[in-house]
Amino acid sequence: MQQSEDIVWNTITASAKTRFNYKKFEEAFSDLGNDNIAENILFLAVSGFAVEHSIDDVATDINSKLALIGFGFGKGDLQQFLVNKETELKTEIRATKIAMQLFGQGFKVPGILVQVQSILKSS
C-alpha cells in the first residue's frame, strides 16, 4: 500500500518527467536493474532545489545516496544534469516547497494534493 504522502510526491515527480527528455535520462540507468533510480534522482533534485540547496549540495546529496547502492556519477556528470533543471523544473520545485510547508503545518494529504495539482496546472 502506498503511503498517502507518496501520492503528493509522485504527482510532482510525474509532472517533472514531462519537462525534459526523461526517457533518455531513464535509459542511462537501465543496466542497473532498478527502474526507480532515475525517478528517485529526479525527486531528490526537485526536493533539494525546493529547500534552496545549491547545485553542488544537491549533487553531493544524490551521490551519497547512490553510493549506498554502489552507483556513482562520473565527476561533473550529475552537476551537468542539474545545471538547467532548476529552471526547467521551477513549477515542480515551487509545488514541492509549498507541499513541504503545508505538511509541516499539519495539513492533510487531500488538501495538499489539491494545492499541488493547482500549481502544476497553472504552468
Return mean pLDDT, the chain. 90
User: Of 2-11, 66-75, 85-94, 98-107, which gets the smallest average pLDDT?
Assistant: 66-75
Q: In whole angstroms, how far apart are CA 34 and each of 23, 69, 97?
A: 15, 10, 28
- DSSP, collapsed to helix, strand or coil, labels residue 70 as coil
What total of structural domains would you count in the chain? 1
Supply the range of the domain harboring residue 52: 4-121
Task: Give the mean pLDDT of 91-104.
Answer: 97
pTM over 0.85: yes
